[in-house]
């Protein structure tokens, strides 16, 4: 790996982006540019992540821009070694209610990112995909399955994966695809993910809403472990075809029910199961979701270290304090 890599992160002011910026700064050896339109992320997220890293602010730069602006995107990428493409519409339920923005932003936006990287001479691109691209599968989900997305969000993520593969083979642009499981962690106040939604109900003194019977399962991975997986890929030489042109499941391999998560959160507030309210199930929702991470372990040396049952108390404190500072968080991203 070069002495210092120059990295551009689309969507870097968002939840995963802020955690990634902090992690890269802590590892050292990276000069980071964040490209974000601030529709979901915020400069506060980014500034807090940089401060928490206890590294120099001068190692991180910010460009306000939209991935639908192809010219600005291409100009921003010039001079960078690698790109990590995180920017996206990410709310599964909203993609079902209103699919068009997901198709326009995620499909055209990803095409713009890939084309900009090609034109700017970028030497490697990491694409943030999702287990939603795999869809309904017999768990554990692995990289070799035939995808069957259940939502427009999952379908457009699968399209993005196909574009990455096409650019790798057609233009020689090194790409690697990372299918994230359900990500949780700090800098996520604007998210309406499972954990945040339940935190919000507890904070407001309301019963916890569970859609369906609560026995649907997810593979919950901390954003810091996601950042670990991405950073391990950044270290790989371009000639390593075990990484470039490949798909990786980035998860923990641990299956947890939504009802279990709700129970853990209730115990944080010394409340019992009577505080649960069950709602009708959501169309397009995957029943079971857990990943086989053997390939990421074997090829990248990836090893998730963060355990949700151990981290929920500290994450709740972060959420509570953040809500006190900002009582009306955005709700622009999703599960």
The partner residues of 284 in beta bridges, in order of sequence, read none
Residue of 167, 34, 149 lying closest to 102 (CA atoms): 149
Q: Are strands 256-257 and 217-218 parallel, antiparallel or unpaired?
A: antiparallel
Cβ distance 121 to 45 under 8 Å? no
Query: Is position 23 annotated as part of the catalytic site?
Result: no
The Cα 58–Cα 45 span in angstroms is 16
Find the catalytic residue in 23, 153, 168, 184.
Answer: 153
Q: Tell me the CA distances in angstroms from 1 to 23, 30, 167, 238, 298, one per residue in order.
A: 17, 11, 23, 10, 20
Q: Which two tokens stand for residue 114?
A: 């890939």
Q: Tell me the CA distances in angstroms from 165 to 9, 94, 205, one per residue in order.
A: 19, 27, 47
Alpha helices by DSSP H, 3-133: 15-27, 43-53, 70-77, 92-97, 99-102, 109-120
Q: Annotated active-site positions, please?
A: 153
């Amino acid at each position: 790996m070069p002495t210092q890599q120059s990295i551009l992160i689309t969507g870097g002011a968002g939840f995963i982006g802020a955690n990634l910026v902090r992690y890269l700064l802590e590892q050292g050896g990276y000069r980071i540019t964040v490209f974000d339109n601030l529709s979901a992320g915020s400069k506060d997220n980014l500034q807090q992540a940089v401060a928490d890293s206890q590294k120099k602010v001068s190692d991180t730069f910010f460009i306000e821009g939209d991935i639908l602006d192809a010219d600005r995107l291409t100009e921003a990428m010039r001079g960078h070694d690698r790109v990590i493409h995180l920017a996206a519409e990410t709310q599964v339920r909203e993609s079902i209610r209103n699919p068009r923005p997901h198709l326009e932003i995620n499909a055209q936006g990803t095409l713009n990112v890939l084309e900009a990287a090609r034109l700017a001479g970028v030497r490697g691109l990491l694409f943030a995909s999702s287990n939603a691209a795999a869809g309904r599968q017999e768990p554990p989900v692995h990289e070799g399955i035939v995808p069957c997305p259940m939502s427009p969000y999952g379908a457009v993520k699968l399209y993005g994966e196909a574009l990455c593969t096409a650019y790798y083979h057609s233009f020689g642009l090194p790409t690697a695809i990372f299918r994230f499981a359900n990500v949780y962690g700090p800098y996520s106040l604007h998210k309406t993910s499972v954990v945040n939604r339940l935190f919000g109900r507890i904070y407001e003194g309301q019963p916890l809403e569970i859609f369906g019977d609560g026995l649907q399962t997810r593979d919950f991975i901390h954003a810091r472990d996601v950042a670990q997986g991405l950073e391990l890929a950044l270290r790989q030489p371009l000639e390593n075809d075990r990484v470039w042109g490949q798909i990786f499941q980035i998860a923990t391999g641990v299956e947890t029910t939504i009802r279990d998560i709700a129970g853990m959160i209730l115990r944080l507030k010394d409340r019992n199961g009577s505080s649960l309210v069950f709602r009708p199930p959501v169309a397009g929702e995957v029943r079971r979701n857990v990943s086989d991470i053997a390939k990421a372990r074997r090829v990248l040396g990836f090893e998730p270290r963060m355990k949700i049952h151990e981290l929920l108390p500290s994450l709740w404190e972060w959420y509570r304090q953040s809500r006190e500072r900002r009582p009306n968080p955005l709700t622009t991203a999703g599960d």
